[in-house]
Structure 1
Amino acid sequence: MRARGFHGFAHPFDRLLLMLSLPFLDAPPRFLFFTGKGGVGKTSLACATAVHLVGQGKRVLLTSTDPASNVGQVFNATVGNVVTPVPGIPGLDALEIDPQQAADAYRAAIIDPVRDLLPAAEISAMTEQLSGACTTEIASFNEFTSLLDDETATAAYDHILFDTAPTGHTVRLLQLPGEWTTYLSDGKGDVSCLGPVAGLDRLRHDYAGALAALTDPTRTRLVLVTRPQRSSIREAARTFDELRELGMTNAHLVVNGVMPQYAAADAADDVLVDAVTGREREALDAIPADLAVLPRTTIPLLAFNTVGVPSLRALLDPDATPAAPASDEIASLPDGLTSLRDLVDDLEADGHGLVMCMGKGGVGKTTVAAAVALELASRGHEVLLTTTDPAAHLSETLQAEVEHLTVERIDPEQAIIEYRERVMAGKGNALDDAGRAVLAEDLKSPCTDEVAVFQQFSHVVFRARKQFVVLDTAPTGHTLLLLDATGSYHREITRQMSEGARFVTPLMRLQDQSQTKVVIVTLPETTPVLEAQELQDDLARAGITPWAWVVNASLTASAPTSSFLRARAHAEADPLARVNELCRRVAVMPLLAREPVGTAALSELTRPAMEGTLTDAH
């Protein structure tokens, strides 16, 4: 048996590819939750699974709760906040839940009944308190609770697929203690998650049913989607650990986008194919034990974007692979893009300031932050390189001490401990035993966890007045929404702190580009760019404008000689053009033949252009 190759010619697939098996679809339960980092392909996989199941005669509802959802784009159809039949695929309906729209409706449901009963100042305070991450997540989950709990409403479907599972943060919020409502009504105090809890208490029975469905292995399967990359695999392991502790134990692992062996068939002297294949093999050999024991499906990288039904079918069925466009022509970068070194030249002009590298996990924020910090230090500037990302490994990335460069880490666990102790010693002293018990429970909430880390972050912002501070931020939307609701953060600190305590709210410094340069890092792929655009929109609501974008791991910038990789490079054209539209300052970094680990490799990312092209530099 032979399959069509990456540019229309017949190439023999390796044996494993020909015998592609799909363990994650063996006897699938009614609910399938696809989760993973941005860019791993979970939306494509969810859509392909829906098409696959419909092809077996099943009725399927595909639901997305991802803020950057592109389900409609994948199907070349308009999908919105109502259940919509997917054109050309009888038996498949789709629904894209808009988290912001859901949050607006959730806010209104809580505030409207008391709008005429309370003073305007209290209504304003409630509105802002309901503008954070907790409300957005709970509102989104509230939208599809009925899909999990109301059998009557979904009786027409054999399977319901969710693109993006609820995070451990959401599930913990659903488990908040019910006695908080009584404590609030008695006027004894307040809690950090007041807004979400106020709405949850009305529907606690419904949520209990939803949680029962999530944790029932006969009804729900968690599909952990990863790429064959260390950072992506680490994120899958972290997600599984968190959700497993909360009772979601029925999990399968899907390794997506593995370089197919046939890609090297006409690679000539292209070292990139072998290098990527070697890195993937090392990452999979080192897979954590908890993931290694899960049923695993391996899906090969395709030479084209999975957009449209034929491509979706090909993702799970090699025999259905359509011919990709001819790849003899070399893809080129859009005009106006720059290099990482050029960005550092501009950063250096102010002599100090905060550089915040932001973006989803797995896009290369740590690499970009380390390279920028290293280059600034090599020019004689005092630089602090730090992170709020619990999964970051700055020391492993640098692998050496560097003159003028200090490496630190904001330890979330330590920050939370110190914050809880400080609040209990301050605000807690004025409460009776019952009040202290509830305050202690409040301080276990994920909302206050993030406030604790954000408070540490504010001290880092303060230090940037006199030196360069390069911050590798955590890949979480919760912290970003705290920036959006800095007023809520300010009031939270005021409420929790003892009277007279001093604190700094950093929003004004973040809004001033002479003090703070926000650099959004992404990949040249559809979903990561959409997620980065969503991040830019979130920051805009807080009055923060990104200073630059960095597109990492671009095949176009690498100029590969392999026909397979050239075809992949052509697929970057639309994402790169979109990034060029979204920001006036964009740097592109090539996909590297060797990982940018260690000071020598990191320094190559900012070497002068005259010393070599993007291709021969790596």
Structure 2
Amino acid sequence: MTTLFDPLTMLPTPFLFFTGKGGVGKTSTACAAAIALADSGKRVLLVSTDPASNLQDVFGIELSNHPTAIERVPNLFAANLDPETAAAEYKTKLVAPYRGVLPDSVITSMEEQLSGACTVEIAAFDEFTTLLTDQKLKSQFDHILFDTAPTGHTLRLLQLPSAWSGFLDTSTHGASCLGPLAGLEAKKNLYHEAVKSLSDGALTTLILVTRPEYSPLKEAARASTELKDTGLKNQLLVVNGVLTSSINNDAVAENFVERQQKALSQMPAELQSLASYHIPLVPFNVTGIESLRAFFKPAPVTPAPEERVKIETQILTLEALISDLETSGVRVIFTMGKGGVGKTTVASAIAVGLAERGHRVHLSTTDPAAHLEYVFGDHSDQISVSRVDPKVELEKYQQEVIRQNADSLDEEGLAFLEEDLRSPCTEEIAVFRAFADLVECSEDEIVVIDTAPTGHTLLLLDATQEYHKEIARSSGVIPDSVQQLLPRLRDPKETSVVIVTLAEATPVYEASRLEQDLKRAGIPTKWWAINQSFAAAGTTDPVLSGRAHAELDWIRSVVQNAEGHAVIIPWKQSEVTGYMQLKELTSDLTLDFVRDEHGEGLTISGGSGCC
């Protein structure tokens, strides 16, 4: 892989989709590409379809779901497709024509029908398809770039044009979980146009962003295959964060390069046929317009003095976190945070740490893009492992609802119900049900749940009441697991959330927003885990040291925000997979190299619980 990624020569189509596993640098790549195109004189619109968008952090301004000019970059506009805002606008648009015409009771009924989680999804999708098909908007911009949600959500979003069109084509009864289908029927041509635009290689390019690591490459291959099946075949691959060599013969950097090259040499066959480009690893945090302008350019690297970064902040190890979880007696433990920060690894390590202390543990994931089996590998008799598979849960949920209603409905009623259950958003309800059942398992064992990236998780948790209503409407039965879910999540004696982050701007900003949202929902948080820290790894390589120095302010910020309940996990020279490596991750560590000459600085110790 020798060709540097250059958006000016490699992105000719008007529609550009940036997608990939969480944490690979989609937002940085999309923003830098948008700036480069705008700087060249093109008029550019950059749109985020991620529920956990961080465009506002990158540009330092508030954004809405309407284009906003970026003052420091002429020709560039940006927007966030916020699902809740989109739903409110969609609901108002549908109901407004009937106010003062129909009785208040009918208006109330219409609003209730449009209050479910499905309306949030279709509203966001409605804006997305409008951008793809709005001829006036297309005439105003040379390029419209979509910074998409992590791959699992993106696959769902990009499959929706076909899914909703197919649903409308086969619907005969005129109703769905969204209420009257008239609102959707009016959009039928719009959705077909969206499918047509996505499938046209002269209009749309899919940029699969990945890192030179096993899991992101595997995820990119899956996305490539599934999106080709939907007709989106004009694809290219961009490998972000490539380090080509170590300047100081630094052991950390040498292992870093070796791991990257090994992963690239084992690139899945699905990706090998794509045009591939790379972006060098930069020695700075990618925030701010000037850093984005330098993002695609190899930074000049000169040998630096062999000095290791000193962390002058007291912080604990993962062992201390696990000891505190055991002492507190909580039964449900979540790892949450931005995609790509290592939630799966931290969840697996917590499960191993608790199992080593004699507890029975169930480790599971609700992440559509999970790679739990790869990280966890073999496991002990004390740990059981599972995954909430959306397709499996959907089929199970459909069969359950039909079975529950078979005796009480006639043939016409059953046909109506089966049609209702074919709507694409039923899958989300099914996943929610499985999520509630998973939490209920905590009565018999400690449940550790590796969640989907933040945006998806928040939609899942915030939608509790809406899904509650959807389940009651479709099946007439609300299981105990659903009724007890919110009380369990809100009880600090039963539930604990571990927020996982990297010591970088965007993951910390997003983790802070996550913490605030969870507090508003009444869900307790306590521990933060800073994962994959170069500052704690002891590197002297100039590029990695640059990243290590950039971590220091964010480490201090996390420790302060967590009121001392923060742990740090060094970047490991070998990828953490399998029970024994996860066990080593939980052991007591002493990193003497980060202490200053007076013996002060980073304190890493285990076993004592809280600071």
Which secondary structure does the structure 2 equivalent of 1:596 belong to? Answer: coil
Name which of 231, 246, 265 aligns with 2:247.
Answer: 265
- Quote the Cα distance in structure 1 between the aligned partners of 2:408 and 2:303: 70
Name which of 513, 517, 522 aligns with 2:496.
Answer: 517
Residue 345 of structure 1: how far off its partner (Å): 1.2
What pairs with 1:334-353 in structure 2 (closer than 5 Å)?
335=313, 337-353=315-331
Q: Is residue 2:156 matched to residue 1:169? A: yes
Q: 1:306 to 1:397 in 2, by over 3 A?
A: closer
Corresponding residue for 1:39? 23
Residue 253 of structure 1: how far off its partner (Å): 0.9
- Quote the Cα distance in structure 2 between the aligned partners of 1:97 and 1:491: 25
Is residue 173–residue 445 contact of structure 1 (8 Å, CA) maintained in 2?
A: no
What pairs with 1:240-389 in structure 2 (closer than 5 Å)?
240-261=224-245, 264-267=246-249, 270-318=250-298, 321=299, 330-333=308-311, 335=313, 337-389=315-367
- Quote the Cα distance in structure 1 between the aligned partners of 2:387 and 2:186: 41
Name which of 454, 462, 465 aligns with 2:443.
Answer: 465
Q: 1:570 to 1:163 in 2, by over 3 A?
A: same
Q: Is residue 2:518 matched to residue 1:539? A: yes
Name which of 448, 452, 464 aligns with 1:474.
Answer: 452
| TM-score with structure 1 setting the length | 0.84
Q: 1:467 to 1:204 in 2, by over 3 A?
A: same
Amino acid at match of 1:313: R
Q: Is residue 2:193 matched to residue 1:191? A: no
Is residue 95–residue 107 contact of structure 2 (8 Å, CA) maintained in 1?
A: no
- Quote the Cα distance in structure 1 between the aligned partners of 2:130 and 2:223: 24
| Deviation string, structure 1 residues 152-203 (Cα, Å, up to 9, x no partner) | 233232222222278232344443223788735xxxxx533449x6654443
- Quote the Cα distance in structure 1 between the aligned partners of 2:193 and 2:73: 31
| Deviation string, structure 1 residues 212-268 (Cα, Å, up to 9, x no partner) | 22221110111111111222223223333333222222111111011132xx1124x
What pairs with 1:24-63 in structure 2 (closer than 5 Å)?
25-26=9-10, 28-63=12-47
Q: Is residue 2:239 matched to residue 1:230? A: no
| Deviation string, structure 1 residues 82-118 (Cα, Å, up to 9, x no partner) | 4333334333333344443223222322344456646
Corresponding residue for 2:199? 215
Residue 128 of structure 1: how far off its partner (Å): 8.1
| Deviation string, structure 1 residues 5-46 (Cα, Å, up to 9, x no partner) | xxxxxxxxxxx76x6354894361111111223322122212
Name which of 452, 463, 470 aligns with 1:492.
Answer: 470
Q: Is residue 2:580 matched to residue 1:590? A: no
| Deviation string, structure 1 residues 545-568 (Cα, Å, up to 9, x no partner) | 323222211112223122221111
Corresponding residue for 2:418? 440
Name which of 512, 522, 546 aligns with 1:567.
Answer: 546
Residue 396 of structure 1: how far off its partner (Å): 4.0
Q: 1:137 to 1:240 in 2, by over 3 A?
A: farther
Is residue 301–residue 543 contact of structure 2 (8 Å, CA) maintained in 1?
A: no
Q: Is residue 2:135 matched to residue 1:151? A: yes
Please list every run of 5 or more consecutive structure 2 residues that lacks an aligned counterpart in the other structure.
595-601, 606-611
Which secondary structure does the structure 2 equivalent of 1:32 belong to? Answer: strand
Which secondary structure does the structure 2 equivalent of 1:547 belong to? Answer: strand
- Quote the Cα distance in structure 2 between the aligned partners of 1:297 and 1:244: 20
Amino acid at match of 2:583: S
Corresponding residue for 1:109? 93
Q: 1:465 to 1:121 in 2, by over 3 A?
A: farther
Of 542-551 and 388-397, deviating more is 388-397
Q: 1:275 to 1:122 in 2, by over 3 A?
A: farther
Which secondary structure does the structure 2 equivalent of 1:464 belong to? Answer: helix
| Deviation string, structure 1 residues 263-303 (Cα, Å, up to 9, x no partner) | x1124xx3211211122122222222222211111111011
Which secondary structure does the structure 2 equivalent of 1:595 belong to? Answer: coil
RMSD between superposed Cα atoms in Å = 3.5
Is residue 535–residue 551 contact of structure 2 (8 Å, CA) maintained in 1?
A: yes
Name which of 529, 535, 538 aligns with 2:508.
Answer: 529
Of 350-359 and 112-121, deviating more is 112-121
Q: Is residue 2:158 matched to residue 1:178? A: no
Is residue 484–residue 541 contact of structure 1 (8 Å, CA) maintained in 2?
A: no
| Deviation string, structure 1 residues 433-475 (Cα, Å, up to 9, x no partner) | 4543443343344422232232223222222134312122234
Which secondary structure does the structure 2 equivalent of 1:287 belong to? Answer: coil
Q: 1:51 to 1:336 in 2, by over 3 A?
A: same
Amino acid at match of 2:209: V
- Quote the Cα distance in structure 1 between the aligned partners of 2:422 and 2:206: 26
Q: 1:395 to 1:70 in 2, by over 3 A?
A: closer
Of 339-348 and 234-243, deviating more is 234-243
Is residue 332–residue 556 contact of structure 1 (8 Å, CA) maintained in 2?
A: yes
- Quote the Cα distance in structure 2 between the aligned partners of 1:136 and 1:325: 52
Residue 532 of structure 1: how far off its partner (Å): 3.1
Residue 135 of structure 1: how far off its partner (Å): 3.4
- Quote the Cα distance in structure 1 between the aligned partners of 2:577 and 2:114: 42
Which secondary structure does the structure 2 equivalent of 1:558 belong to? Answer: coil
Amino acid at match of 1:417: E
Which secondary structure does the structure 2 equivalent of 1:61 belong to? Answer: strand
What pairs with 1:382-421 in structure 2 (closer than 5 Å)?
382-389=360-367, 391-421=369-399
Which secondary structure does the structure 1 equivalent of 2:294 belong to? Answer: helix
Name which of 400, 422, 434 aligns with 1:456.
Answer: 434
Kindly tell me the number of residue pairs found equivalent between the two proteins: 588
Please list every run of 5 or more consecutive structure 1 residues that lacks an aligned counterpart in the other structure.
1-15, 185-189
Amino acid at match of 1:472: D
Corresponding residue for 2:123? 139
What pairs with 1:66-81 in structure 2 (closer than 5 Å)?
66-75=50-59, 80-81=64-65
- Quote the Cα distance in structure 2 between the aligned partners of 1:230 and 1:523: 19
Amino acid at match of 1:559: G
Amino acid at match of 2:334: M
- Quote the Cα distance in structure 1 between the aligned partners of 2:7 and 2:73: 24
Q: Is residue 2:593 matched to residue 1:608? A: no
Q: 1:518 to 1:445 in 2, by over 3 A?
A: farther
Corresponding residue for 2:108? 123
- Quote the Cα distance in structure 1 between the aligned partners of 2:244 and 2:74: 32
Q: 1:147 to 1:399 in 2, by over 3 A?
A: closer
Q: 1:458 to 1:21 in 2, by over 3 A?
A: closer
Task: Quote the sequence identity (%).
Answer: 43
Q: Is residue 2:533 matched to residue 1:554? A: yes
Is residue 24–residue 254 contact of structure 1 (8 Å, CA) maintained in 2?
A: no
- Quote the Cα distance in structure 2 between the aligned partners of 1:100 and 1:59: 28
